[in-house]
Chain A
Amino acid sequence: MSWLPTLAVAGLLTFLIRLSFIALLGRVETPPLLARALRLVPPAVLSAIILPELLLRRGAVDLSLGNVRLLAGLLATGVAIWTRNVLATIGAGMAALWLLQYLVAR
């Protein structure tokens, strides 16, 4: 299937969001409730992607030591809180995943 029509729609929507207030001459104030809701989008969406990736294996919650992505993700979380550095977090998480995958495969 071709994804190009979907991408065209997604791109147009993104452009219209960015253009919205600029086109409205900057005279319209963002309603406070909308502004608060928009600030909550990143934490809500990001953790909605993170948690299933770490917790679910084959559609079920897996809290065992065999869930190497959960272990690597927890380590990366520690690095993220400690360093606040994106590349350090990715590096530590991937190194942990590779090591754990190697140990489990042995």
Chain B
Amino acid sequence: MQPLPAHWTRRAEFLAGCRAELPIILGVAPFGMIYGALAVGAGLSAFAAQAMSSVVFAGSAQFIAAQLIREGSPGLVVAVTVLVVNLRHLLYSASVAPYLRHLRAGWKGLLAYLLTDEAYAVAIGRYLRDGDRTDADPVSPNRHWYFLGAGLVLWGSWQVSTGVGIFLGALVPASWSLDFTLPLTFIALVFPSLRDRGAFAAALGGGGIAVLAFGLPYKLGLMLAAVGGIAVGLVADRAEREA
């Protein structure tokens, strides 16, 4: 058996993954701080706010959960909304699965826990650059350490920035209206997702239903809007493909 090239050792792969994730944490850390401040402002204890970052570990779902908690929604609605918002991770899971097939269950579990938008982007970038071979010789056998490095750097920066936000949030007065950063964040995030007619219709449908259904109890309007918006988008999608 040939010795591994130096850049394929576990340590080298791990450090390369960490390095690849570093520029991304500059963009992520402010959101961790805003989330932390919003969560304590919504009435979560500092411990629960930090626990959400380590247990749920999904930025937009955490923002939405904090918003629902502030509005007094029941726990079931919060949990189901987090589920709906994170359903897109099914696509990430399907996308990286072929590259993780050879790993033991512990590794699969660990990397699944770390599979956020930002870690996925970095890890799948590496796998795609390598080509589609999943177990052929010319591919580094330690690529999962690269994924681990990227995922852990993001995880650490999310925990630390959440903690800073929780600490600062307790100091910021309500008159600063920091809760408005939430819709602003989503305004910035929604435009890159409006790539075709289906997505545009889903946004219009979801937004319109949310306004009409706002009076429903338990914040059910949000879930109705999510499902309705997706249905409207699918119809528009089909109309476009058949046109």
Q: Which residues in A have some Cβ–Cβ distance to B below 8 Å?
A: 2-11, 13-15, 17-26, 28-30, 33-56, 59, 61, 69, 72-73, 76-77, 80-81, 84-87, 89-90, 93-94, 97-98, 101
Contact = CB atoms under 8 A, between A and B. Distances in A.
Contact of B203 (A5, A47, A98): A47
B188 A90 contact: yes
Contacts of B15: none
Contact of B186 (A9, A49, A87): A49
Interface residues of B, number: 88
State the majority secondary structure of interface residues on B: helix
Given A6-B75, A7-B56, A44-B205, A39 B86 contact: no
A86 B185 contact: yes
Q: Name the residue among B64, B78, B203, B228 with the largest chain A CB count within 10 angstroms.
A: B203
Contacts of B193: 42-43, 46
Contacts of B100: 22, 26
A15 B56 CA distance: 8
Contact of A42 (B82, B88, B99): B88
Interface stretch (B3-11, B16-24, B105-113, B152-160): B105-113
A49 B184 contact: no
Interface in B144-186: 176-177, 180-186
B51 A52 contact: no
Given A73-B183, A94-B181, A50 B226 contact: no
- Residue among B65, B85, B108, B182 with most chain A CB within 10 A: B85
Nearest to A93: B184
Given A18-B92, A43-B193, A76 B51 contact: no
26 contacts: A3-B44, A6-B78, A10-B78, A10-B83, A13-B79, A14-B56, A18-B112, A18-B115, A22-B97, A26-B97, A26-B98, A30-B94, A41-B84, A45-B84, A48-B210, A48-B221, A48-B222, A50-B207, A52-B211, A53-B183, A59-B214, A61-B211, A69-B180, A73-B183, A86-B185, A89-B188
A23 B112 CA distance: 9
A11 B83 CA distance: 9
Interface string B43-79: 0100010011001111011001101010000011011
B27 interface: yes
